[in-house]
Chain A
């Protein structure tokens, strides 16, 4: 490397010593974490309620205080100074240390919960036991590793949400959006399901249900034990089951048509909520290369196919067992799946063909033929549906996608690959919403005439790795299936070029160069090819 590059990387450091206040807040926050550490190693705290409160309190004070000292005394505006100089946010040593620690935490959480103090047929010990009082207060049951995780997850979204609001306090869109994710996480993902568990008893056997989690994100929603639970819980159970189905087929398409997939991905979703708050300092690390976009399309749509096959196989496997409960029989169900897929495929191919890339067309045809082929083989030859045991498919999906991809890689690798790796490459829900957003929605990011100066801030700070600049500098609107509508491109743009908006579908996609301020005749020539 030339001397200059070296210089740019090393001496190019802004003053970044911590202030006294910041040191104090880091210390307080660390004390809170120390309590967790001690609990994990089975230090017996005399009064768990008190120590849990102290610990969560110290973490909150530390995080909020630190955010306050970072932003409160600065004028409102973009706060990206030194992002690429800091070790933590530019894949330096701290990024790796932090990334490895979170990854290890996820590995323990998913695969070795006994180290956190989960004991089969015995009382909780360790860290999980520390959370027992809170869990008993909410649901009446002792804590599990998932309760500990849920509490910390919600706390992260709340604390880093406050930090985010401070950072973007000049923007009402960002403030409202962040309050929304904080609310949905706290109420829908954390408190309501715990309270629902409290209601369970003889007549009510509701499964744990985060109402805002929609299939295929909650790929397990239609597994037999849950269906049984719903059906054994009277009207409430039935209502919840129906809600689960219409949220996929009715609510989701309507909202996505009106507002784009952002209504879910950056306003409601818990994965998105964490990415937008705790993950915000890492948003610029997403890969912007065209090859990454290609890989993204193949992987994420393959996950959709996988989850469709898996869910179909799982539901199929338990139909017919209890004819009284399930009026739907195996053949009707398969026929319904085939019909639905054919309708979606046919619609896209007939009416939206021009908007699909070549590889998207090939991929869609390929997958469509495979799925219908498998269903056909089953009909005519009576083989195992989809050649695998439903249970094998389910376990594989739960392990590979549900645990490793969304948790270990999705969050553990925040400081390396950016905050939306899971949402971009793995989330089947995001892919389905994206399909709707790209082909059937009023949402777009409008480009403002000829004002773009190609600076690249929009592309760098896009957490989904969209090369926003490549559209803006041509005067094109940005209509991409992966866009989650976080709005940060419009924030960091220094020239007022970008605006997220819902408007008439006509003229939403403008594939030709339309740069205003130019000679109209010239533009006609330019657009001839």
Chain B
């Protein structure tokens, strides 16, 4: 019986384990240094805010693993001997494998700032980060968050529930400028500010200043402003957690390089989830995708390959979602943040109810390319079909009611959007 070892018990590693069990009788071991059981990292913020306890973030009950013969091992692997197919833990334990799946996830991407090693400087990726935040927020009155993106707004919301004053440094002139076009960037920026968060746009961190205990005392920005604070939340993105694999024969760049079948350059070694980097990016996707569902899909694909049915990681139309304080966000297909040649925008906003839809389509063929939704839930199945069938923007606008996934009795939006679209077309003509 061959032995599959998976390093990392996140969504990618656990999905792989579950599916390998479904399709084979192999021995499966999942190793994690972070926690004994699989939990949903996306829910860390809710634990801090008191919406749930840490054990509630575990999607499977503890008996599940033994019943499905998935062995869980809590250990920190710091060395891999690929030639002899052996792993070594910090404690010196040796674990051998026949097939190895690397699903080690991400770590916070510190950008080399002066003072980033100080106490009170941290990211939010792991359970340990959450514990650290709990400790760091004990006597906290003012926090600075570096980076206006998903983790940044989560951190802001978390600290806000403990009545801690929060200042966010945002590099662009609106929130999440690398992803959101200016219109919705403004909408979300306003909303975050309404919640009492200070947003400093076009501001970057320069240096973190310590007190006598090597703890954060203040930061300075590149435009030489000093802000007193006791916590610096680093939310400038994540990067693959692969430092323990450097200086081995495994090929890495930003992440572990894999082909479409998620195979690395070493036979019987695979990489999935946040730590994997596609040798060639797929469509408009990034070569490293740190997204929940892509981790899940890679886990499903690699399980097929390992069980003798070679399968490529072949994601369909891009989609994602998030929530910024009270405003939900969903996106399907591609909506580019900066104006793009040959692409036309149609933006609709309902200011009073904090709702917005942003469509993009090809200027010539009118082919629908993508949509951002704010404060509106869209039916994945319907929008996915629109994208796959490459239907025109007119058809999309016409079929909009079909895509409404808002709760029953919610205020409808389709008629307003249709009217606004007609007006925008008339103006163009």
Contacts and interface: CB of A to CB of B under 8 A. Distances in A.
Asked if A and B are interacting partners, one says: yes
B297 interface: yes
Given A460-B56, A519-B301, A522-B304, A77 B326 contact: yes
Interface stretch (B95-103, B238-246, B378-386): B378-386
Given A8-B54, A75-B194, A14 B161 contact: yes
Given A12-B134, A15-B162, A75-B195, A80 B49 contact: yes
Nearest to B327: A77
Interface stretch (B40-48, B175-183, B248-256, B357-365): B40-48
B384 A449 contact: yes
Given A517-B293, A526-B19, A80 B380 contact: no
A11 interface: yes
A455 B316 contact: no
Nearest to B11: A454
A7 B47 CA distance: 13
B80 to A, nearest CB: 28
> Interface range on chain B: under 10, 10 to 19, 20 to 34, or 35 or more?
35 or more
A492 B49 CA distance: 14
Contact of B59 (A176, A470, A492, A525): A470
B313 to A, nearest CB: 8
Interface string B18-33: 0100110000000000
Contacts of B330: 451, 495-496
A518 B292 CA distance: 13
Contacts of B134: 4, 7-8, 11-12
Given A84-B52, A522-B311, A516 B316 contact: yes
Given A75-B194, A176-B409, A529-B23, A81 B292 contact: no
Nearest to B303: A526
A501 B134 CA distance: 40
In this complex, which of B49, B309, B312 has the most chain A Cβ atoms within 10 angstroms of its Cβ? B49
B183 to A, nearest CB: 20
Interface string A437-452: 0000000001011110
Contacts of B161: 14, 81-82
Contacts of A11: 134, 138
Nearest to B48: A12
Interface string B297-335: 100110010000101111111110111011010100000
Interface residues of A, number: 62
Contact of A518 (B57, B61, B315, B409): B315
A500 B54 contact: no
Contact of A290 (B61, B408, B411): B61
Interface in A64-105: 75-78, 80-86
Interface stretch (A54-62, A165-173, A393-401, A404-412): A165-173
Contact of A460 (B42, B51, B315, B381): B51
Contacts of A446: 405
A456 B57 contact: yes
B410 interface: yes
Contacts of A494: 322-323, 328
Contacts, number: 191
A459 interface: yes
Given A454-B40, A457-B52, A522 B314 contact: yes
B50 interface: yes
B423 interface: no
Given A81-B49, A448-B377, A448-B379, A459 B131 contact: no
A469 interface: yes
Given A7-B135, A84-B50, A455 B42 contact: yes
In this complex, which of A12, A14, A83, A86 has the most chain B Cβ atoms within 10 angstroms of its Cβ? A12
Contacts of B377: 448, 496, 499
A172 B42 contact: no
A370 interface: no
A356 interface: no
Interface in B374-429: 377-381, 384, 405-411
A521 B312 CA distance: 10
Nearest to A517: B316
Given A8-B131, A453-B42, A456-B43, A516 B384 contact: yes
A457 to B, nearest CB: 7
Given A77-B325, A449-B381, A517 B51 contact: no
A185 interface: no
A518 B316 contact: yes
Contacts of B162: 14-15
Contacts of A522: 297, 300-301, 304, 311, 314
Given A448-B405, A453-B40, A459-B56, A83 B50 contact: yes
10 contacts: A4-B134, A14-B50, A75-B326, A84-B52, A448-B405, A455-B43, A494-B322, A515-B293, A516-B316, A516-B384
List the 5 shortest-distance A-B pairs measured between CB atoms, nearest first.
Answer: A449-B380, A77-B326, A496-B377, A519-B314, A455-B43
Interface of A: 4, 7-8, 11-12, 14-15, 75-78, 80-86, 170-173, 176, 284, 289-290, 446, 448-451, 453-457, 459-460, 469-470, 473, 487, 490-492, 494-496, 499-501, 515-522, 525-526, 529
Given A76-B326, A457-B46, 5 more contacts: A449-B381, A451-B321, A454-B43, A456-B52, A490-B407
